[in-house]
Amino acid sequence: MRTDDFRVGIGYDIHRLSEGRRLILGGIEIAHPKGLIGHTDGDAVLHAVTDALLGAAGLPDIGDLFPDTDPAYKDADSRVLLADAVERVRTRGFRAGNVDVIVHAEAPKLSAYKAQIAESIARLVGLAPQDVSVKAKTNEGLGPLGHEDAIACTAIASVVRMVDCERTAKANRQ
């Protein structure tokens, strides 16, 4: 693989927590008294992953593609938005290489959910489970994240240009 076949993108998102909302992270519902508020289902993890993939492919970001002023995305399932983004990335000639995620959450403890979240992201992005990594960090009690007012997510994704992969494979065979 040539180095110019390989690109990376970064994504970040934060949503406020509120009582009486379902908590959905990475497309997985998590038992917790609070959930994330948003125009969509508030899934900060999938939003960060979506932006990382879009950024890697040089596409517009999630806010440009699925604006929160558009009623079509009211209470939207973020899995659908990610699937749409993955298709746009593919149409642009890229496939995802790997995704790495940090969830910044004081509570709930996510250790029991990390594998499930990783599998969910892998399924949605079209990756093998071992190509998606999910880490959970507290904010050491500091700031809005530490006071359980919000959950944030940082994600990075790599993509590989598919056309060049085929061309390189062909060249290697000759």
Angle (CA) 158-162-167 rounded to 5° is 130
Q: Choose, by CB under 5 A, the member of 21, 32, 34, 47 that binds Mg ion.
A: 47
Burial 9-25 (b: 16+ CB within 10 A, else e): bebebbbbbeeebebbb
Q: Find the part of the chain contacting Mg ion (CB under 5 A) among 2-10, 20-28, 39-47, 84-92.
A: 39-47
Return the number of the residue (39 or 95) whose C-beta is nearest Mg ion: 39
**Please, what is the minimum distance in Å from the beta carbon of residue 46 to Mg ion?**
8
Contact (Cβ atoms closer than 8 angstroms) between residue 64 and residue 70:
no
Total chain residues near Mg ion (CB under 5 A): 2
Q: Find the part of the chain contacting Mg ion (CB under 5 A) among 6-14, 25-33, 116-124, 159-167.
A: 6-14
**Please, what is the minimum distance in Å from the beta carbon of residue 2 to Mg ion?**
34
Work out whether 100 is an interface residue with Mg ion (CB under 5 A): no
Residue 91: its H or E element: helix 78-91
Q: Choose, by CB under 5 A, the member of 9, 11, 13, 86 that binds Mg ion.
A: 13
Rg (CA), the chain: 17
Site for Mg ion in 18-37 (CB under 5 A): none
Q: Are strands 28-30 and 23-25 parallel, antiparallel or unpaired?
A: antiparallel
Return the number of the residue (47 or 104) whose C-beta is nearest Mg ion: 47
For residue 2 the two structure tokens come to 């040539």
**Please, what is the minimum distance in Å from the beta carbon of residue 163 to Mg ion?**
31
Q: How many CA atoms lie within 13 A of 163 on its CB side?
A: 6
Return the number of the residue (29 or 166) whose C-beta is nearest Mg ion: 29
Distance CA 109, CA 36 (A): 16
Q: Which residues are near Mg ion by CB under 5 A?
A: 13, 47
